[in-house]
């Protein structure tokens, strides 16, 4: 595996592979890789002959009081994990390389409506930062396919929409959430949990599981399901941002005719803000 830090170097490498007829699979990450990322990488390898991963902690997607400065950075370990997973190219740019001269007031991509609900309500500007950096990375790497985890379900939906609206010739593939044995979704932010917080963190998955069981067995009062989920988490000490049942296609509130749903939760415990979701058909 080679490591490059400049846009010119990534482009040269990808151009050469494309001349050989290779399909390029891409996994954008913010580093601090864990088994969840490895599953994205394994999926990426099934979608292309050459595989590129980026490691870039994107300042634009962090709010002023969020954890940008303290976000865990483990580049040497990340490189080992990517090499072991069969990655061909690791792109690790610095902020100036990605944002260049626009660093003061760079162009931003806004994906309306879907970006302002759920996490967007609690993290204003977050999805603008995500959409902007992913568009930049698509233009830099020019992949044929890009993989994103379903754990960040709203992020995946925003990127699918952005990519379709801006006509990126990139297939967007969602990868199933990887969980610890007790159900907790893997996330770099799990490191912020103390031992006591880690012990109750799987309650989010338990509450989501209870909600999808109710929906799958015919419960129709979705507001009651949302209330029950939020109350069960609050009873365990979580501060709830949302516990919501939405339709999968666009994350709008479901009508009685909608069959494909997703239940999403965001809740804070100690210093960590955890998100998770489960899909259900009714």
| Active site members | 37
Alpha helices in the chain (DSSP H): 7-19, 35-47, 75-84, 95-99, 119-122, 126-141, 153-165, 195-200, 203-216, 222-235
- Determine how many CB atoms are found less than 10 A away from the CB of residue 263: 26
Separation of alpha carbons 160 and 231, rounded Å:
32
DSSP letter assigned to residue 224: H
Which residues 209-248 are close enough to bind ligand PAF by CB under 6 A? none
In the chain, what is the greatest distance between 2 CA atoms, to the nearest angstrom? 58
Residue 37 Cβ, how far from ligand PAF at the closest point, in Å?
Answer: 8
Report residue 96 as tokens. 């100036």
Instruction: Between 145 and 212, name the residue whose CB sits nearer to ligand PAF.
Output: 145
Written as six digits, the tokens of 12 are: 């040269």
Minimum CB distance to ligand PAF smaller for 162 or for 278: 162
Candidates 23-31, 91-99, 167-175, 260-268: pick the segment binding ligand PAF (CB under 6 A). Answer: 23-31
Q: Is 134 in the site for ligand PAF (CB under 6 A)?
A: yes
Closest separation between CB of residue 89 and ligand PAF, Å? 16
CA dihedral 156, 264, 81, 54 (to 10 degrees): 30
Helix axes 75-84, 35-47, angle to 10 degrees: 40
**196 token code pair:** 């006591």
How many residues contact ligand PAF, by CB under 6 A?
10
Should residue 170 be labelled a site residue for ligand PAF when binding is judged by CB under 6 A? no
Instruction: Give me the 56-75 binding string for ligand PAF, x by CB under 6 A, dash otherwise.
Output: --x--x--------------
Through-space distance between the first and last CA atoms of the chain, rounded to whole angstroms:
45
Out of 24, 33, 40, 130, point to the residue binding ligand PAF (CB under 6 A): 130
Residue 152 engages ligand PAF in binding (rule: CB under 6 A)? yes
Q: Which is nearer to ligand PAF, 156 or 263 (CB)?
A: 156
Choices 28-36, 79-87, 99-107, 240-248; region in contact with ligand PAF by CB under 6 A? 28-36
Binding residue (CB under 6 A) for ligand PAF from 10, 26, 29, 187: 29
The correct pick among 7, 14, 25, 30 for binding ligand PAF (CB under 6 A) is 30
Cα distances from 198 to residues 131, 174, 193, 238, 261, in angstroms, run 31, 27, 5, 12, 28
Closest approach of Cβ 85 to ligand PAF, in Å?
A: 16
Q: Which residues bind ligand PAF (CB under 6 A)?
A: 28-30, 58, 61, 130, 133-134, 152, 155
């Amino acid at each position: 595996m080679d490591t490059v830090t400049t846009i010119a170097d990534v482009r040269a490498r990808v151009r050469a592979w494309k001349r050989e007829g290779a399909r390029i699979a891409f996994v954008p990450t913010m580093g601090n890789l864990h088994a969840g990322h490895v599953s994205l990488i394994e999926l990426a390898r099934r979608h292309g002959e050459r595989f590129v991963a980026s490691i870039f902690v994107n300042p634009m997607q962090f709010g002023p009081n969020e954890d940008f400065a303290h976000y865990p950075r483990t580049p040497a370990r990340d490189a080992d994990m990517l090499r072991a997973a069969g990655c061909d190219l690791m792109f690790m740019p610095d902020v100036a390389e990605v944002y260049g001269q626009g660093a003061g007031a760079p162009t931003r991509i806004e994906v309306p409506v879907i970006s302002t609900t759920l996490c967007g309500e609690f993290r204003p500007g977050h999805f603008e930062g995500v959409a902007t950096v992913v568009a930049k990375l698509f233009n830099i790497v020019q992949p044929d396919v890009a993989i994103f985890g379903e754990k960040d379900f709203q992020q995946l939906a925003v990127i699918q929409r952005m990519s379709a609206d801006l006509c990126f010739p990139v297939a967007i593939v969602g990868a199933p959430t990887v969980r610890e044995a007790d159900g907790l979704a893997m996330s770099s932010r799990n490191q912020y949990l103390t031992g006591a917080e880690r012990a109750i963190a799987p309650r989010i998955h338990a509450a989501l599981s209870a909600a999808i069981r109710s929906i799958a067995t015919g419960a129709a009062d979705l507001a009651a399901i949302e209330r029950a989920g939020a109350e069960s988490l609050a009873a365990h000490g979580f501060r709830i941002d949302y516990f919501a049942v939405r339709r999968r296609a666009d994350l709008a509130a479901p009508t009685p005719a909608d069959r494909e749903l997703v239940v999403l939760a965001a809740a804070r415990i100690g210093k960590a803000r955890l998100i998770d979701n489960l899909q259900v058909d009714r």
